[in-house]
Amino acid sequence: MNTELAAAAAAARHRKVRRQRVRGLTRHAVLLTWTAIIAFPLFWMISTSFKDAGEWVAWPPHWLPNRPTLHNYAQIFAFGALDPTLSRQATEQAFTIWKGLGDAVVVCTTASLLALLLGTFLAYAISRFKVGGPYFRHTILMIRMIPPIVVAISILIYYAIIIPYATSALLGVRISLFDTYLGLILIYAVTTLPFVIWMMLTFIDEVPYTLEHAARLMGARRFQIIRRVVLPLVASGMVVTFLFVFILNWAEFLLALTLTHPEVTTLTVLLNKFQSASEGRLYGPQAAIGTIVTIPVVVLGLLIQKHLVKGFSFGTIRK
Instruction: Tell whether residue 294 is a contact of other proteins (CB under 8 A).
Output: yes
Candidates 3-11, 30-38, 66-74, 77-85: pick the segment binding other proteins (CB under 8 A): 30-38
Nearest to 248 by CA among 319, 196, 313, 316: 196
Tell me which of 7, 11, 35, 213 binds other proteins, using CB under 8 A: 35
Instruction: Tell whether residue 156 is a contact of other proteins (CB under 8 A).
Output: yes
Consecutive H or E run containing 243: helix 231-251
Tell me which of 150, 171, 173, 218 binds other proteins, using CB under 8 A: 150
Instruction: Tell whether residue 64 is a contact of other proteins (CB under 8 A).
Output: no
Report the residue number, 78 or 193, with the smaller CB distance to other proteins.
193
Contact 188, 107 (CB under 8 A): yes
Contact 282, 88 (CB under 8 A): no
Instruction: Tell whether residue 12 is a contact of other proteins (CB under 8 A).
Output: no
Q: Is the peptide bond before 68 cis (omega within 30 degrees of 0)?
A: no
Site string for other proteins, 221-240 (x = CB under 8 A): xxx-----------------
Report the residue number, 1 or 299, with the smaller CB distance to other proteins.
299
Nearest to 250 by CA among 313, 172, 192: 192
Nearest to 141 by CA among 316, 258, 304, 309: 316
Instruction: Tell whether residue 128 is a contact of other proteins (CB under 8 A).
Output: yes
Number of residues forming the site for other proteins (CB under 8 A): 98
Candidates 83-91, 94-102, 159-167, 206-214: pick the segment binding other proteins (CB under 8 A): 159-167
Tell me which of 66, 154, 168, 236 binds other proteins, using CB under 8 A: 154
Nearest to 260 by CA among 82, 106, 61, 113: 106
List of E strands, 46-101? none
Tell which positions 255-274 bind other proteins, by CB under 8 A. 257-258, 267-268, 271-272
Instruction: Tell whether residue 66 is a contact of other proteins (CB under 8 A).
Output: no
Residue type, 295: I
Report the residue number, 118 or 215, with the smaller CB distance to other proteins.
118
Q: What count of other Cβ atoms lies within 10 Å of the Cβ of residue 218?
A: 9
* Angle, vertex CA 243, rays to CA 241 and CA 248, nearest 5: 95
